[in-house]
DNA sequence: AACACAAACGGACCGTAGTCCCGTTGCAGG
DNA sequence: CCTGCAACGGGACTACGGTCCGTTTGTGTT
């Protein structure tokens, strides 16, 4: 645990056939997910479509959730880059409260765009999977720092979990699809909620 | 469709062997869940322990989640009864904000007591399972009414989901077990959060 | 008591996620 | 170019949730 070596980083050259197969698998998974939907695509089908054996698929990606995570990596990293180093109000430069609101808007959009894939990446066999793997830790740290900056009297460590909870893919997709709430309503509700929570005692101008 | 006869309504009494087997199955499941843990108990094992076939098990309870729900029914119904008709501050009689805080405390306790079972009942194959089945709808309606009463200018329909999200079994168990947050901290954080959200502009006395 | 029939029973069966092991192959060193 | 070996490949295998269907059994009727 202490001497954790990143396997990808420590193997400068992945064997050529392995790299080729990884690409094939990612491409095949993307194709099938787009064609049949994430939920209706089995790992067998992905392996077949990629022209590799099942063993290879699981050797490369460990499990279904990690494969979904790998497919999400690009857009997920872009979002992280934006809220860490991007332009205000999402990135540095704006007030913490405004950044937090922008973060919620960005995450809502990210979930609306990549919902099914995120859901698949959050559904591992072990309990509390999404809280361990994936970008949750990064989101959490970011939100915690913003809360601590905006309202030092609050329990930022706890509130970070609280504020991330309503942005969960399962809930957001349910609100969008089953409950037919438009994305703008979720964004507006989030904005007002964050304002009231962080600026308690300060009158918020509602337009 | 017009001359539809309800088959269930015409069979007031369940057949004796069916009732006997239901009891056997519930008892066996309770025993194995207690002995080996919910996550490590297979449906096959429950059927064997109950001395019935697998078909019978699934005929009675539909799927794993519903079986967990049936085992939860007693304590879950008791909690519902309490916040609907029980004594204040959980039941009627207190201010909506106080009732909402008490509701959160009650639900946190319920989750802390029955976490693994709730988790099993929330993990069906279909997406967003916990939002469709189980007591979520009742919780949601209750919370929505309290919000609407306490702060009519808020989007109670949306905020009900938001406030229930941090009380999810997955998150609460993670906070309690992995993050080692004591239950009192979650309760305190919830209380302060609800106060700030519903009483924005009103100074809350912090002891 | 005998009967008829719906309901319940139970285990064979299926699809899927994930594991394992052995034959194969790319790659470095001689 | 040849060789050794560690990593890779692939499919047979397991465990599990869930379904199906031929058989049994409880129950109301005559």
The answer to whether the Cβ–Cβ distance between B158 and A171 falls below 8 Å is: no
> How many other β-carbons are positioned within 10 Å of the β-carbon of residue B99?
23
Per-residue model confidence as pLDDT tens digits over A173-183: 999 999 999 99
In Å, how far is B49's CA from the nearest CA of chain A? 24
Q: What is the pLDDT of residue B91?
A: 93
What does the pLDDT look like over A56-72, one tens digit per residue? 899 999 999 999 999 99
B17 contact to strand C (CB, 7 A limit): yes
Is the pLDDT at A8 greater than 70? The verdict is no
Instruction: Output the pLDDT for position A20.
Output: 86
- What pLDDT band is residue A36 in, cutting at 50, 70 and 90? very high
In this complex, the residue of B132, B193, B202 whose CB is nearest that of residue A162 is B193
User: Which stretches in chain B have pLDDT values below 50?
Assistant: 1-11, 203-207
Question: What pLDDT score was predicted for residue A123?
Answer: 76
Q: What is the mean pLDDT of chain A?
A: 88
Contact B77, B64 (CB under 8 A): no
Q: Are B143 and B100 in contact (CB under 8 A)?
A: yes
Whether the Cβ atoms of residue B38 and residue B116 lie closer than 8 Å to each other: yes
The nucleotides of chain C lying under 7 Å from a protein CB are 7-13, 15-21, 25-28
Chain D bases closer than 7 angstroms to a protein Cβ: 7-13, 15-21, 25-28
Query: What are the C-alpha distances in Å from A70 to residues A63, A129, B15?
Result: 11, 15, 52
Q: Which two tokens stand for residue B41?
A: 């108990």
Tell me the pLDDT tens digit for each residue of B19-70. 889 999 999 999 999 999 999 999 999 999 999 999 999 999 999 999 999 9
pLDDT score of B9: 39
Least confident of A87-101, A189-203, B144-158, B172-186: A189-203
Average pLDDT estimate for A86-99: 93
Distance CA A29, CA A41 (A): 8
What CA dihedral angle connects A172, B144, A128 and A38, to 10 degrees?
Answer: -30
DSSP B115-147: HHHHHHHT--SSTTHHHHSTTHHHHHHHHHHHH
Mean pLDDT of A146-152: 95
pLDDT value of position A88: 84
Number of continuous H segments (helices) and E segments (strands) in chain B: 11, 0
Please identify which residue in the block is written with the tokens 């004796």. Answer: B16
**Rounded mean pLDDT, A25-37:** 94
What tokens appear for B40 in the block? 């490590």
Nucleotide nearest to A44 (CA to C1'): C16
By the CB < 8 Å criterion, does A137 face chain B?
no
Is residue A101 over pLDDT 90?
A: yes
Distance in Å from C20's C1' to A53's CA comes to: 14
Dig out the tokens for B152 from the structure. 């009519």
Q: Is the CB of A49 under 7 A from strand C?
A: no
- pLDDT of res. B10: 41
The per-residue pLDDT for B18 is 84
Of A117, A151, A149, A147, the closest CA to residue A134 belongs to: A117
Name residues 37-76 of chain B with a Cβ under 7 Å from nucleic strand C.
Answer: 51-56, 58-60
Minimal CA separation from A22 to chain B, in Å: 28
CB spacing of B185 vs A128 below 8 angstroms: no
Which tokens hold the place of B105? 């405390």
Q: Could you give the CA distance from residue A97 to residue A88 in angstroms, rounded to a whole number?
A: 12
Q: What pLDDT does A4 receive?
A: 31
Residue pairs spanning A and B at CB distance below 8 A: 99
Please check the confidence at residue A2 and state whether its pLDDT lies above 50: no
More confident residue, A146 or B15: A146
What's the CA–C1' distance between B66 and D8, in Å?
43
pLDDT at A203: 47
What is residue A200's DSSP assignment? T
* Nearest residue for D25, CA–C1': B17
């Amino acid at each position: 645990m202490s001497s954790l070596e990143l396997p990808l980083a420590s193997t400068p050259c992945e064997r050529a056939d392995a790299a080729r197969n990884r690409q094939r698998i990612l491409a095949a998974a993307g194709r099938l997910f787009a064609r049949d939907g994430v939920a209706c695509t089995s790992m067998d089908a992905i392996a077949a479509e990629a022209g590799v054996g099942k063993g290879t698929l699981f050797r490369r990606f460990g499990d279904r959730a990690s494969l979904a995570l790998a497919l999400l990596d690009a857009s997920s990293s872009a979002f992280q880059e934006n809220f860490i180093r991007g332009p205000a109000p999402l990135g540095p430069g704006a007030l913490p409260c405004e950044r937090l609101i922008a973060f919620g808007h960005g995450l809502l959009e990210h979930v609306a765009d990549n919902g099914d894939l995120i859901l698949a990446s959050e559904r591992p066999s072990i309990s509390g999977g999404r809280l361990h793997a994936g970008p949750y830790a990064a989101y959490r740290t970011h939100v915690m720092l913003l809360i601590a900056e905006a309202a030092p009297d609050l329990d930022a460590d706890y509130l970070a979990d609280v504020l991330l909870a309503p942005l969960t893919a399962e809930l957001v997709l349910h609100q969008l699809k089953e409950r037919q709430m438009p994305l703008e309503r979720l964004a507006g509700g989030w904005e007002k909620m964050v304002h009231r929570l962080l600026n308690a005692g300060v009158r918020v101008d509602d337009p």
